Structure formats: structure tokens, C-alpha cells
Amino acid sequence: MTVSAPPAPSAPAVAPSRGSRFTGAAANYIDERTSISGLVKELGRKIFPDHWSFMLGEVALYSFVVILLSGTFLTFFFQPSMTEVVYNGSYVPLKGMQMSAAYSSTLNISFDIRGGLLFRQIHHWAALLFIAAIGLHMLRVYFTGAFRKPREINWVIGFVLFILAMAEGFTGYSLPDDLLSGNGLRIIDGLIKGIPVIGTWISYLLFGGEFPGTKVVAMFFSIHILLLPAILVAALGAHLLLMVINKHTQFAGPGRTNDNVVGVPILPIFAAKAGGFFFVVFGVIVLIASLFTINPIWTYGPYDPSPVSAGTQPDWYIGFADGALRLIPPGWEFVWLNHTWSFNIIVVILVLPIFLAAVAFYPFIEGWITGDKREHHIAQRPRNAPARTAIGAAGVTFYAVLWAAASSDLIATHFHVSIEGVIHVLQALVFLGPIIAYIVTKRVCIGLQKKDREIALHGFESGRIVRLPGGEYVEVHEQLSDYERWRLVSFDEYEPLMIRPNAQGRITTAQRTRAALSRWFFEDRIMPVTKTEIEQQHH
Amino acid sequence: MAKNTLSTARRGRRHPLATIALIVIGLVSTGGAYALFSSTASANTPASTTTATVDQGKKLFAANCATCHGVNAGGVAGVGPSLYGVGAASVDFQVSTGRMPLANQGVQAEQKPAQFTKDQISALATYVASLSPGPGIPDAKYLKGNGNLANGAELFRINCAMCHNVAGAGGALTQGKFAPTLSGVLPVHVYEAMVSGPQNMPVFNDKNLTPAQKADVITYLKYLDQNPSPGGIDLGNLGPVSEGLFIWIFGLGAIVGVTIWIAAKAN
């Protein structure tokens, strides 16, 4: 299957040195007891395509490793308890204050344990980078159609990883029990209490009584360092395993087909490069962590339900949920059957899961609409799937508007506009933005496809003007090489599904919807250039 | 080192603090904020009130402020409020931070370079204070920044952070108004802002926050100004939003740059 994996290096002709004899013996010893050589051979020959965007998942993986390492350090010193203590460490503005042991121990990590602040900052920055890298990796997979058969399941696992990462982030953010995280938890508490009927029960269960209670930090700690990481590592294992089994997708190019993968095999080159890349990621994180403050809990102060700071925001990945709450207009609460129905909250806890579910199940939705059952190993260029790219752009816009809404107050102060103005504009944009993004993206994709087609058939404008014998001026078009053209013309063609009667000779509503959706998906399309067209062009 | 200053400050100040508090309660209950509500005579009207400065102030006022505040500072309906009872503190704050004279009728009088000299400002303040008693210029002993730091930090979080942000970075209010950043604001202006409550800021009279507590708040703000974040560059103290933007633009940006470079090398 793999075309360019170099043959395994054969035994050297010279007599082995002492060192290599030792390694050989050791390797043999291990192999005879674990039969690991088969696995290494298999894995070692896994091919990685060398487009940069294929490394985003790696960035996420490496930041996760950094998180694990720095997090382990933090667990040695953190006390997950909400017992009241009097702070007596070296941060003067908090000296003598009553606070929870969790907060006090986080202050100690920051000020009294050597390297503690650096580790805290590494851990937090790495967490932000981890989720950002996952986000970008998901966008890459989405926009190149790399989630199509046979990779749908891996997409879902990836999505689960994304959710787990957010949950990890949120529980971690809450652990120091500072004012900011307490306010964040208070919002979550409000969200939960807004759920009709069972909300209050759940809140009492979660916080062990009335918010904030005395249990939540200890519980979040177990979830944060044990439960979620265990699930995350398992899901990550499955994700990587499936990636090895399914192999990578690759962009179309000379010699790259649906049946091969072109790139470098893991061993030895890629492994070395990846090892180096791990240190690059680690290095960037440490550099940022040593130069830039993150989550200065000492200024936030210990959690106390009364003060709330201006500019209270969650970490970026929870921002979209905070923004959704901020965008709900006032007055969506009413009393019915002696109960308060908080639609300002109910709408948010309905809309966000629907949005997330659409992301999670997108491969199946698209598969159903297109009726495409083929296996795909060639990554699509986004322009060649205009409808999908446009849907993606609409989704990104929706998310971005919610995200912006979470920082509405900062937008207001920094651009000298009123916060109401910002909110109203964003309220309009949350509906209009995705529509505009959809239309514009689709047009742009089709425009680009037309240009590709034009270039594939007629070459590109060389800027050289020639005068013909008849006196006429023409611009010379440079023809593409076959290699270059291949990139432009090799993509799948699709057509809307036809409505077909089923076995009973009936046309079901499901089929009608499907056909309608399929028409919407594919009605505007540019056909790939065919061989005949190219040949005709050359005569 | 900081530990020592605090503990000595505490030990040394326990008595003075108590005395100060007593004096303050005695003096200020007859003047200061009390005057704001009951218009009784103020003990805080500066002692240096001489006819000369009042006259000078009156002239300056007539030339620069009367169009909006009325010839006798009684206010002009719809243009500028009456200044009776605002006291020297308010005038000093408004004029030395350049908020007054108001440049344009925006949502909020914004800070700009002061347009008068120290003497002129003090004349204006004396003049306005001579019309009707109000909170005076704060005593220098509250402005030294040697109060109780931890107490000041807590008072700040409880009373000020909802508008000015825990780190004093500022924050948005409704209708385009905002609470400005407090970094670099002079202690005297912090004190005056608390007693006069400019525009949308509430008045923190001496019953709300005693002068000693105000001194604590000033101590904390001074501490924030003088001690950069222990974690490194603070990204404007804007919290998770600036952190999120930073990691996306610079963190991920740098790493994507590296991936592109690696991939380009490979080809």
C-alpha cells in the first residue's frame, strides 16, 4: 500500500561495534519476550504526508503531554479542599486573609514553591494551546473532507476528545477557588438551576448543598486528575489507533491516489522529526509561560460570593457558551404553573447542544445527503466541496459571534462603543452572519473552481503580449505541466440524488427530504475537467 | 522584604491608626460626607481660604466654567449641574484630571491634560468650596500608601472591582460609559474620586469607607502600580480574553509557522 517507504536498512557489512552489539542483544531480548518487533515494523512503516496542516493534531498531542507532565507536578502541592485557612504565605496583599485550602495552596504553588508559578503557567498555557490546536485540527479535517468514509468514527472520537478537553479545562479552571473561577461556577450553577424541574436538585447534588458548598473543589479535583484524563487517554489511544488503521488522507498530487499514501514513514525520519517537533511545541509553551502571566489568581482574591469583577470571563473555549447567555434579550422569564420558566437559560441549554451535536454527527449527515458510500483517502480542497465549505464557514461564523459576545464588555471599552450597541449588533449577526458567510463562501468556492478549470484548460496568463502577423495583439497563455494540472483536475464529481421508489414502489417523505437536501448540496457545482476536454484543448 | 514592611507598618500603625480613626470620626462627621447630606458647616474647608484666592477663583470660574455651571455655580438647566456642595475635592479632581472644563458633551467627561496650573486649580476649588461646604482636599496622611494592604485589597474587590476590574484595568458600564483604568492615577485623585463620585461612580462617603479605609484602598492601588505581575507580562490584566487571543494569535501562530517551515523543508 505504501509506495515510498524506504526498504528496511539491511545489516551493515562492517563488523558491529561493541555498542551496536549490545543494542542488538538488548533488542533481541525484549523482542523474544514481547514480540514487539511486529508492531514496530507495522507502526514504523506508517506514512505521514508532509503537508503542514497534517501536523495540527500532533500539536494537540504534544501539548497534552506537556499538560500531563506539568499537571503531575501541581498535584504534589495542591490541596483539593475548601476548608477555611488563614493565609500566611509570602504574597503580602492577601496575608492574614481567610480562604480555602485550595486557594491558599495555589498561592503557595505560585509564590513559595520553587518553579511552582512556572509550572502553573505552563499547565494553563498548554491547556489553552491544547484546545486551540484541537479546534484548528478539527477545522482542517472538516474542510478537507477527511471525515468521510472510512473515518467517520474517528471524527466522532475526535469530537469526544474535544468535549473532554473542554471539560478538563473547565474543571481545572475551577480548582484554585479564586474569585474568577468562583464566578464561573456561579454561572454554571445558574445554568443548572435554570433547567426546569430537576435543575435545583442537580445543583444541590453537584455542590453538596447550596452553592458554593464545601465539596465541589474536591469532586472536581478527582474528575480533573483521574476520571477525565483516564477517559481522555483511552479515547486518544483509540483515535491514534484508528488513524494508523485508516491511514492518513493526503492531498491530490502526482503519484497520489486513493489507494496509497505518499510521505515519510515514521521510522526513522518522521520519528526523529516528530521528536524534534515535540520539543518545539514544549519550547514555545515554556517560553510563553515564562514571559506571560496567565490566570493571576492572586489579583482575583479568594472566592467570596459578593464581589464580582468587571471583565469576568471564562477561558476562551467556554467563551461561546458565556456569549450565548449574554446574547439572550432581557425578559425571557415567566411564571407558569407556579414555576419560573427561565427561557433565557433554557434556550441556551437547548441551542448549544444542538450545535455541538450537528458537529459531532456531521459525517453521517453529509453521508446521508450525498449518498456517498465510497471510501475516500484523498483530502478534498475546500473549494471542491462548496456546500460543505459554506456550511463550515457558517458554523465558524456562528461560533465566532458567540465567542465575540463573551467579550462584549471589552469590545465596548476598547473600541469606545456602547455595550448595548455591541450586543445588538451581535444579536443580529448571530442570525445574519452565518447566512452571509454561507452565501459568500459558496460563491467564492465556485469562483475558485471556475478559475481552476480555466487554468487547467487554457493555462495561466503569462503577462507576455505578442503581436500576431495580422497586427492583432494576444496574451500568451502558459500551459500547466501535467503534474500541476493533476492537482487541479483530480477531484470527485457528485450529482444530486434522484428520488427512487423503495421496494414497495413508494416514495417516502424521508427520501423526498433527502433528495431535496442533496439538490441543495450539489445544485451549484463545477464539473471537474475531463480527459477529453483537456485533449481537445491541446488541438 | 515586603513581609517586613507590612508587619512593621502594622505594628507601628496600630496606635496611630486608632487615633487617626478617632480624629477622623470627630472631624469628618461634622464635615466631609456628612456635609453632603446635611449641608452643615464643613470642617474640611481649607484653612487657607483668603479673599484673594476666592476672587481669583471667581474670575477663572466666570471665564471658564460659568457658561455651563452658571455665573454663581448654581447650574444651567440641561447644560451643567449646580456645584453647590460638591466641595473642593470634586473641583480639584475634575479640573486636575482635565475632565473639566468639559470639551464636548459626550457620554462621559473624559480625562485629558489639565488646562490650569496648580494655583489656578486651587483657586477654583477654594472659590467653589466658599459657596457652600463640601468635601475638601484630602489630608496628605491618607495618601502615602502606607495603610493596610490586605484590607485595602479586599475593600477594593468588594467596592470597586465590579466597575474597575479586580486589577483596576477598567471596565464597561451601560450606554457607552465606562470605569477607567486606575493604573497611574495619583493617590489624591483616587481619594477625591471616592468622596466626590464623579459621574457614574457612586460616592463613598466617610461612613461607607472611613478615611483610613480609603487610605487602605490607595495603598493597594499603589501596590498594584509599583509591583509588576509576578507571572510576567500581564497582557493588560484583561483576564481570559486577552489570554485566549494571545494563545490563538501568538502561540498557535508561532507553532503553525514552525509546521509550515518543517513541511517546506521536507519538500
**Cα gap A86→B199, rounded to integer Å:** 38
Nearest to B204 by CA among B259, B142, B262, B266: B142
Residue B34 clears pLDDT 70, i.e. is over it: no
- Please report residues of A whose CB lies closer than 8 A to that of B243: 128, 294-295, 315-316
Q: Are B172 and A308 within 8 A, CB to CB?
A: no
Query: Within 13 Å, how many C-alpha atoms sit on residue B98's CB side?
Result: 7
* Of A54-58, A165-169, B25-29, B96-100, minimum mean pLDDT range: B25-29
Asked if A282 is an interface residue toward chain B (Cβ–Cβ < 8 A), one would say no
B147 to chain A: nearest residue by CA? A93
Percent of chain A topping pLDDT 70? 95
A317 to chain B: nearest residue by CA? B244
Q: Which of residues 89-128 of B touch A (CB under 8 A)?
A: 107
Mutation target among B154, B238, B241 for the A interface, most CBs of A within 10 A: B241
**Cα gap A364→A460, rounded to integer Å:** 39
Contacts of A511 (CB under 8 A, 6+ apart): A499, A500, A502
Asked if A487 is an interface residue toward chain B (Cβ–Cβ < 8 A), one would say no
Who among B158, B165, B231 is closest to A311 (CB)? Answer: B165
Q: What pLDDT sits at residue A202? A: 92
**Cα gap A179→A486, rounded to integer Å:** 58
Averaged over B162-181, what is the pLDDT? 87
- Please report residues of A whose CB lies closer than 8 A to that of B153: 93-94, 301
Q: Which of residues 33-62 of B touch A (CB under 8 A)?
A: none
Q: What pLDDT sits at residue B24? A: 47
**Cα gap A31→A29, rounded to integer Å:** 6
Who among B166, B172, B267 is closest to A309 (CB)? Answer: B166
- Please report residues of A whose CB lies closer than 8 A to that of B259: 52-53, 55-56, 59, 277
- Please report residues of B whose CB lies closer than 8 A to that of A308: 161-162
* Bridge-based pairing state of the strands A250-251 and A378-379: parallel
Q: Which of residues 402-441 of A touch B (CB under 8 A)?
A: 406-410, 412-413, 416-421
A135 min Cα distance to partner chain B (Å): 10
Q: Which of residues 183-202 of B touch A (CB under 8 A)?
A: none
Domain A55-304 fold is Cytochrome Bc1 Complex; Chain C (1.20.810)
Who among B233, B245, B263 is closest to A293 (CB)? Answer: B233
Who among A92, A180, A294 is closest to B2 (CB)? Answer: A92
Q: Please, which pLDDT band fits residue A519 given cuts at 50, 70 and 90?
A: confident
**Cα gap B24→B144, rounded to integer Å:** 16
**Cα gap A82→A207, rounded to integer Å:** 12
Asked if A90 is an interface residue toward chain B (Cβ–Cβ < 8 A), one would say yes
- Please report residues of B whose CB lies closer than 8 A to that of A90: 2-3
- Please report residues of A whose CB lies closer than 8 A to that of B262: 52, 55, 273, 277
- The per-residue pLDDT for range A384-395, each reduced to its tens digit, is 888 899 999 999
Q: What pLDDT sits at residue B103? A: 80
A264 to chain B: nearest residue by CA? B266
Averaged over A90-119, what is the pLDDT? 93
Mutation target among B3, B8, B151, B157 for the A interface, most CBs of A within 10 A: B157
Asked if B249 is an interface residue toward chain A (Cβ–Cβ < 8 A), one would say no
Percent of chain A topping pLDDT 90? 47
CB A175 within 8 A of CB A220: yes
Contacts 24+ apart (CB under 8 A), A478-483: A480/A455, A480/A456, A482/A254, A483/A253, A483/A254
* Of A492-506, B69-83, B198-212, B238-252, minimum mean pLDDT range: A492-506
CB A235 within 8 A of CB A161: yes
> Quick one: how many helices (H) and strands (E) in chain A?
21, 10
**Cα gap A178→A99, rounded to integer Å:** 9
A59 to chain B: nearest residue by CA? B255
Mutation target among A98, A110, A256, A292 for the B interface, most CBs of B within 10 A: A292
Who among A285, A299, A412 is closest to B167 (CB)? Answer: A299
Residue A137 clears pLDDT 80, i.e. is over it: yes
Integer-rounded Cα radius of gyration of chain B? 23
Q: What is this structure's pTM?
A: 0.85
Q: Are B157 and A312 within 8 A, CB to CB?
A: no
A28: its cell numbers: 533481541
Query: Do B48-131 and B140-227 fold alike per CATH?
Result: yes
Domain layout of chain B by residue ranges:
48-131, 140-227
Asked if A446 is an interface residue toward chain B (Cβ–Cβ < 8 A), one would say no
Q: Please, which pLDDT band fits residue A71 given cuts at 50, 70 and 90?
A: very high
Asked if B237 is an interface residue toward chain A (Cβ–Cβ < 8 A), one would say yes
Q: Are A52 and B241 within 8 A, CB to CB?
A: no
Q: Please, which pLDDT band fits residue A113 given cuts at 50, 70 and 90?
A: very high
Residue B27 clears pLDDT 60, i.e. is over it: no
Domain layout of chain A by residue ranges:
55-304, 381-539
Mutation target among B10, B164, B252, B260 for the A interface, most CBs of A within 10 A: B252
Q: Are B251 and A117 within 8 A, CB to CB?
A: no
B47: its cell numbers: 484653612
Q: Are A295 and B230 within 8 A, CB to CB?
A: no
Contacts of A371 (CB under 8 A, 6+ apart): A497, A514, A518
- Please report residues of A whose CB lies closer than 8 A to that of B150: 92-97
A247: its cell numbers: 491511514
Residue A83 clears pLDDT 80, i.e. is over it: yes
Note if the bond before A212 is cis, omega within 30 degrees: yes
Q: What pLDDT sits at residue B104? A: 75
Q: Which of residues 498-517 of A touch B (CB under 8 A)?
A: none
To the nearest whole number, what is the mean pLDDT of chain A?
A: 87
The three-state (H, E, C) secondary structure of A314-343, written as one string: CCHHHHHHHHHHHHCCCCCEEEECCEEEEH
H or E, element range at B193:
helix B187-196
* Of A50-59, A261-270, A390-399, B29-38, minimum mean pLDDT range: B29-38
> What are the DSSP calls for B83-105, one per residue?
-TTTHHHHHHHHHHTT--S--S-
Averaged over A178-192, what is the pLDDT? 91
Q: Which of residues 249-268 of A touch B (CB under 8 A)?
A: 264
What count of CB pairs under 8 Å joins A to B?
205
For the domain covering B140-227, report its CATH number.
Answer: 1.10.760.10
In this structure, which amino acid lies at residue A212?
P
Residue B102 clears pLDDT 90, i.e. is over it: no
Nearest to A522 by CA among A366, A361, A355: A366
Cβ of A310: how many Cβ atoms within 10 Å? 24
Q: What pLDDT sits at residue B50? A: 63
**Cα gap A184→A178, rounded to integer Å:** 10
Contacts of A32 (CB under 8 A, 6+ apart): none
- Please report residues of A whose CB lies closer than 8 A to that of B258: 277, 280, 284
Q: What pLDDT sits at residue A389? A: 94
For the domain covering B48-131, report its CATH number.
Answer: 1.10.760.10
Q: Are A132 and B252 within 8 A, CB to CB?
A: yes
Who among A52, A410, A417 is closest to B241 (CB)? Answer: A410
Q: What pLDDT sits at residue A15? A: 66
State the ipTM, two decimals.
0.86
- Please report residues of A whose CB lies closer than 8 A to that of B149: 92-93, 95
B219 min Cα distance to partner chain A (Å): 10
Averaged over A282-309, what is the pLDDT? 92
Who among A307, A315, A413 is closest to B162 (CB)? Answer: A307
- Please report residues of B whose CB lies closer than 8 A to that of A273: 262, 266
CB A100 within 8 A of CB A177: yes
- The per-residue pLDDT for range A288-300, each reduced to its tens digit, is 999 999 999 999 9
Q: Which of residues 94-133 of A touch B (CB under 8 A)?
A: 94-97, 110-111, 117, 121, 125, 128-129, 132-133
Contacts of A51 (CB under 8 A, 6+ apart): A250, A251, B263
CB B164 within 8 A of CB B179: yes
